[in-house]
Amino acid sequence: MSPRNIFHATADDDRRPTAEDRLSAALLDLADRGRRTPCGDPDDYEHWTSEDADELADAATRCPGCPIFTECEAAAIEKRPAWGVWGGRNYAPRRKTTP
């Protein structure tokens, strides 16, 4: 089922859209309207996957104003990404410090 038609499933399709499906649909809808998310900004998108803690923290503070924050947050809760900022939360692995 493509992201563009997840809300128009056929009668024989018993799969409910996942949070990831809804995020994909929201991203496509945003793109269709000529808009992008803060993490899709070509000037600083890398902050959402940076190895720099300050850049990751900055990215997380910019998420709540995103037009698809709710969908992103739900997808992150469902998928538990291994890296990056999703839905305002930093999923980067924490580094162990040695005394």
For residue 84, tell me if it sits in a domain: yes
Is position 34 within any domain?
yes
pLDDT(13) > 50: yes
DSSP 8-state code for residue 76: H
Evaluate whether residue 96 is within a structural domain. no
Name the residue among 48, 58, 7, 50 with its Cα closest to residue 28.
7
Q: Which domain covers residue 65, as residue numbers?
A: 3-7+16-90
Report the interhelical angle of 69-79 vs 19-32 (nearest 10°): 150
Strand partners, 89: 86
Q: Which two tokens stand for residue 70?
A: 């709710």
Domain count, the chain: 1
pLDDT confidence bin for 8, thresholds 50/70/90: very low
pLDDT of 24-66, one tens digit each?
999 999 999 999 999 999 998 999 999 999 999 999 999 999 9
